[in-house]
Amino acid sequence: MGKTTGFLEYDRVDKKAKSEKERIKDFHEFYYPLSDEENRRQGARCMECGVPFCQSASLLAGMFSGCPLHNLVPEWNELIYQDNWKEAFERLFKTNPFPEFTSRVCPALCEKACTCGLNGDPVASKANEYAIIEKAFANGWVKKDENIVRTGKKVAVIGSGPSGLSVAYNLNLRGHSVAVFERSDAIGGLLRYGIPNMKLEKSVIDRRVEIMKEDGIKFYTGVNVPTDISKEELFKQFDVVILACGATKPRDIKASGRESKGIYFAVDFLTEATKSLDDNAKLDGKKYIDAKGKNVIIIGGGDTGNDCAGTSMRMGAKSVIQLEMMPEPPIDRLPSNPWPEWPKVLKTDYGQEEVIDKFGEDPRKYLTTVEKFVSDEKGNLKEVVTVNLKSVKNEKTGRMDLVPVEGSEKTYPCELVLIAAGFLGTEEYMTKGFGVEVNGRTNVLTKEASYKTDVDKIFACGDCHRGQSLVVWALEEGRECAKEVDEYLMGYSNLNV
């Protein structure tokens, strides 16, 4: 542990953010890192708690608690306290190939399971993770691996999101020759265009990709597999093909007036905005879905919906409303949701904070959905009619269903709707092109605890395998898939997974 009495002596201190008024002026990251001394104090708070739930990824009450990567959180917190940053980096890098991503976009499952959080505030481990990896880059500790010995095996990875990068990194480290195919114009997948710059600057991705190229990984952009290159052509060149193509089929909203002009999927809105940013992280006038001066309604209360709120604020939206079908969570844990379960409590994220600061009220409307969209004579969206929902027991299934509340309709002026209702699974052209089976959620089907599909030489990992999930889970799936592929190719594996 860090300091025996550290958790008693020091309070939690996390990274500070720029003010809402200041940060909406551009799309730059807006958090200030902690000082080395503040990082050391947080390391000192990490106690020898016997069972480190922070690194456990335990399934409790249907939800995971703790880090899926099994990061050695207590170890690198102690090393930070001792001012031994390089060894802290080495311990962090043993389990996490890309800490620069998770320390920015992960919801910190480790902190939600921290023992200090039982009777107080958890250790700011995410801030410490950020400090470790940024110090590692600054000091040149993240560099080309000179010890890779090639096996002669070749692997194709389809998709360059977090799972694709993770499986490529680990298999290349083992010595297999890896080629990554990306249909978009730049590497990163979800990291590149699904997550706004204010959460993850794209230079962070580019920095890592350059090192991966130096390590021998080949990247091909603008190649849509299996449309541009067939399964048969890939098998002629590669010993194994890994599908890491994500769950990119957005869930639509079926309501009257859906054909109105001005209704878009969140992923398209975020992608076009990111592609339109100049070197100063400001919109450069290229074609994008513009929220400036518009009343914006976002359908979906999750992280993507929040990102849409933050992006709309930076564009100069006239108003922002976020619809959430579920009831408002409590401020504090309920007795039915004890530590170390995942806390089902109210989370107000950066985009919502910015809307509150600008307009004076929370944009979220709970237990609410769209009843119909209303357009003008030219077909342009002008209003959205919403309806409240209530929970009613279904006598046939015994489950609670959400049903409309009669007479609760409200009409809001609206010129732009962004659908952030999640994703349904893998795109059909991908699964059919490779001839792989899918499950009921249209994710690529494999046996339990396996990544091998029903088609020989084809494996799958990440969101296309487990469904829409977190970046940290994509990284872990990439690691585990790499080990299974290595065993398939070599008969054994010495990958540290």
Query: What's the per-residue H, E or C state across the chain?
Result: CCCCCHHHHCCCCCCEECCHHHHCCCCCCCEECCCHHHHHHHHHHCCCCCCCHHHCCEEECCEEECCCCCCCHHHHHHHHHCCCHHHHHHHHHHHCCCHHHHHHHCCCHHHHCCHHHCCCCCCCHHHHHHHHHHHHHHCCCCCCCCCCCCCCCEEEEECCCHHHHHHHHHHHHHCCEEEEEECCCCCCCHHHHHCCCCCCCHHHHHHHHHHHHHCCCEEEECCCCCCCCCHHHHHHHCCEEEECCCCCCECCCCCECCCCECEEEHHHHHHHHHHCECCCCCECCCCCCCCCCCEEEEECCCHHHHHHHHHHHHHCCCEEEEEECCCCCCCCCCCCCCCCCCCCCCCCCHHHHHHHHHHCCCCEEECEEEEEEEECCCCEEEEEEEEEEEEEECCCCCCEEEEECCCCCEEEECCEEEECCCECCCCHHHHHHHCCCECCCCCECCCCCCCECCCCCEEECCHHHHCCCCHHHHHHHHHHHHHHHHHHHHCCCCCCC
Predicted confidence at residue 284, as pLDDT, reads 78
Terminal C-alpha separation, the chain = 24
User: How far apart are alpha carbons 184 and 86 in whole angstroms?
Assistant: 36
Determine the distance from the C-alpha atom of residue 271 to the mean position of all C-alpha atoms in its chain, rounded to a whole number.
Answer: 15
Locate 359 and state its tokens. Answer: 């307009």
Q: How far apart are CA 13 and CA 8, in angstroms?
A: 14
Smallest CA-to-CA distance from 478 within 461, 496, 495 is with 461
Query: What is the CATH T-level fold of the domain 154-248+424-490, as seen in this structure?
Result: FAD/NAD(P)-binding domain (3.50.50)
Instruction: For residue 113, give the nearest of 333, 343, 330 by alpha carbon.
Output: 343
Topology classification of domain 263-419: FAD/NAD(P)-binding domain (3.50.50)
Could you tell me which residues come within 8 angstroms of residue 481 by beta carbon, excluding any fewer than 6 positions away? 163, 167, 242, 451, 459, 460, 461, 465
Token output for 98? 């890309």
Strands 154-158 and 31-32: unpaired
What are the structural domain ranges in the chain? 6-138, 154-248+424-490, 263-419
List, in order, residues 6 or more apart from 146 with CB less than 8 Å away. Answer: none
Contacts of 494 (CB under 8 A, 6+ apart): 174, 486
Kindly state the tokens that stand for 73.
């959180």
Q: Residue with structure tokens 């890779």? A: 148
The two domains 154-248+424-490 and 263-419 share their CATH topology (first three levels equal) = yes
Task: Name all contacts of 138-141 with Cβ < 8 Å and 24+ positions apart.
Answer: 139/85, 139/86, 141/86, 141/89
User: Which CATH homologous superfamily contains domain 6-138?
Assistant: Alpha-helical ferredoxin (1.10.1060.10)
Edge-to-edge strand list for the sheet holding 458-460: 218-221, 177-182, 154-158, 240-243, 458-460
Closest CA to 469 of 105, 95, 110, 88: 105
Q: What is the pLDDT of residue 377?
A: 97
Residues 56, 71: Cα–Cα separation, whole Å = 9
Contact at 8 Å (CB) between 111 and 54?
yes
Q: What is the pTM of this model?
A: 0.96
Report mean pLDDT in 10-residue bins for the chain, 497 residues.
89 97 97 97 92 92 94 96 97 97 97 94 97 98 95 98 98 98 97 96 98 98 97 97 96 96 97 91 85 98 96 98 97 94 96 98 98 98 98 90 96 98 94 96 95 98 96 98 98 91
Which phi and psi angles does 478 have, rounded to 5°? -60, -40
Cis peptide before 338 (omega within 30 of 0): no
